[in-house]
Amino acid sequence: MNLDLFPEPPAPRPAWSFSPGAVLLGGFALDAATALLDAMHAVIEQAPLRHMVTPGGRRLGVALSNCGPLGWISDHRGYRYGALDPVSGHAWPSMPRCFAELATRAAAAAGYDSFVPDACLINRYQPGTRLTLHQDKNERDFNQPIVSVSLGMPALFQFGGTERSDPAQRIPLAHGDVAVWGGPSRLNYHGIAPLKERPHAVLGAVRYNLTLRRAG
């Protein structure tokens, strides 16, 4: 019998490699999720989530913010990293220690030693939000991996090859999952399929993604 006082723990999902140099660590962030969310909410109180504009004039469906010494920015001039929040004119909020520690541990678990992030993008998705296929190539050193933490509603990660037209795998991402990728997959195209409305028990109809990078 399963009394409510002792709910079944989620079935462990092992780590698996979905492409050379790319590893999905199932549930790796579950133990830290409450601390990560508290810290994230403190960051977005200082640097609110906003819809940036692409160089082509399109409004991004994902709402985003940043913390750490560098933040990712999109505007009519292009995509880049910058030290200042263009909305406030102030430095981005500092990176919470629990973000950096989790990123270093996850990178090591995926085979990337001594990863120290200097930028964290915070992305918010709502039902229907998608992220079209793109490459992450605004960082200086492509030898550094990226650590990506999923919180809240589940999503389908589309993961292609180095050409936009390459076929894409579809990888389910759940609350607490951490994807680490680098090496031969570092410049592969990827995106998020339009989010279905499958509310998370605690967060509701929202998904947050933290991507931790070495940008500078």
CB of 193 to ligand MD6, least distance (A): 11
Pick one of Fe ion, ligand MD6, none as the site partner of residue 66 (Cβ within 5 to 8 A by kind). none
Locate 73 and state its tokens: 């920015």
Interacting partner of 29 out of ligand MD6, Fe ion, none (Cβ under 5 to 8 A depending on kind): none
What backbone torsions phi and psi does residue 107 show, to the nearest 5 degrees? -60, -45
CB closest to Fe ion, residue no? 136
Pattern 136-155, Fe ion, x by CB under 5 A? x-------------------
**Binders of Fe ion among 20-49, rule CB under 5 A?**
none
- Where along the sequence are the contacts to ligand MD6 (CB under 6 A)? 123, 131, 136, 146, 148, 179, 181, 190, 192, 209, 211
Q: What are the residues facing 151 on neighbouring strands?
A: 208
Quote the least distance from Cβ 192 to Fe ion, whole Å.
9
* Interaxial angle between packed helices 97-109 and 33-46, expressed in degrees from 0 to 180 and rounded to the nearest 10: 130
Quote the tokens at residue 13.
Answer: 């999902």
Report, in Å, the least distance between residue 7 CB and ligand MD6.
27
Whether 98 contacts 193, CB under 8 Å: no
CA distance 191 to 195: 11
Q: By three-state DSSP, how is residue 102 classified?
A: helix
What CA–CA distance (Å, rounded) separates 191 from 12?
A: 25
Instruction: Quote the tokens at residue 183.
Output: 């090496």
Shortest reach from residue 103's CB to Fe ion, in Å: 15
Q: Which does 92 bind (CB under 5 to 8 A by kind): Fe ion, ligand MD6, none?
A: none
Per-residue contact flags (x/-) with Fe ion for residues 112 to 141, judged by CB under 5 A: ------------------------x-----
Which residue, 35 or 183, has its beta carbon nearer to Fe ion?
A: 183
Query: Residue 210's beta-bridge partner residues?
Result: 122, 149
Among Fe ion, ligand MD6, none, what binds residue 149 when CB lies within 5 to 8 Å by partner kind? none
Per-residue binder mask for Fe ion (CB under 5 A), 176-205, x = binder: ------------------------------
Give the interface with Fe ion as residue ranges (CB under 5 A). Answer: 136
